[in-house]
């Protein structure tokens, strides 16, 4: 199983040592609508969970999504 940061790095082309929970689409040039949906899909497959539409729409920073993963008992 990959870590949350490994998935972020792969999808958004970011070095893992530069990833911060407060990063948003304004900080990540590769964060467009298509890559965001790919990111959500990879998180769901990797961690065996499903995000609600509300969670997908309201997430503003990486930490919002990491929090959902961890709240569902998955180690990110």
> Does residue 61 register a pLDDT over 90?
yes
Best CA proximity match to 69, nearest among 14, 4, 18:
4
pLDDT tens digits for range 1-19: 899 999 999 999 999 999 9
Q: What is the CATH number of the domain that holds 33?
A: 1.10.1200.10
- For residue 14, being part of any structural domain is answered with yes
- For residue 58, being part of any structural domain is answered with yes
The whole-number pLDDT of residue 74 equals 76
Q: How many domains does the chain have?
A: 1
Q: What is the DSSP letter of 16?
A: G
- For residue 45, being part of any structural domain is answered with yes
Residue 41 · residue 5 · CB < 8 Å: no
The whole-number pLDDT of residue 59 equals 97
Give the tokens for residue 22: 């407060």
- For residue 76, being part of any structural domain is answered with no
- For residue 18, being part of any structural domain is answered with yes
- For residue 26, being part of any structural domain is answered with yes
Tell me the residue range of the domain where 58 lies: 4-71
pTM: predicted TM-score of the whole model, two decimal places: 0.93
Cβ neighbours of residue 54 closer than 8 Å, sequence gap 6 or more: none
């Amino acid at each position: 199983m990959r870590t949350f940061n490994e998935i972020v790095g792969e999808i958004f082309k970011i070095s893992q040592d530069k990833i911060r929970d407060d990063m948003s689409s304004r900080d990540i040039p590769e964060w467009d609508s298509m890559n965001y949906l790919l990111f959500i899909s990879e998180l769901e497959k990797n961690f065996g969970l499903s995000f609600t539409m509300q969670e997908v729409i309201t997430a503003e920073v990486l930490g919002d999504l990491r929090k959902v993963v961890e709240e569902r008992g998955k180690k990110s």
